[in-house]
Amino acid sequence: MVLVIDETNIIKLKNIIMRSLLYLIAVILIIGWAFGFFYYSAGGIIHVLLVIAIISLILGVIRRA
């Protein structure tokens, strides 16, 4: 079996990696927001994290289409 590595396959692989990385960042930010929301000590920065996570998810959905 021969693995053909051309520019199209490399671009597809980069897209898959970036998409999964985007979702990982969004999940981390949502967990951070939830943790801070329940412990009130983080102040307004927690809501900024939530907004960034939601934007990341929306961008991921848009880029997937």
pTM, whole model, 2 decimals? 0.46
Report yes or no: 27 and 18 within 8 Å, Cβ to Cβ: no
Give me the residue spans of the domains in the chain.
Answer: 7-64
- DSSP assignment letter at 3: -
- Cβ-Cβ contacts under 8 Å for 41 (sequence gap 6 or more): none
Token pair listed for 65: 């289409």
Amino acid symbol at 33: W
Structure confidence at residue 42 (pLDDT): 56
Q: What is the pLDDT of residues 5-42, one digit of tens each?
A: 677 767 777 777 677 777 888 888 888 777 777 776 65
CA atoms within 13 A on the CB side of 10: 3
Report yes or no: 19 and 36 within 8 Å, Cβ to Cβ: no
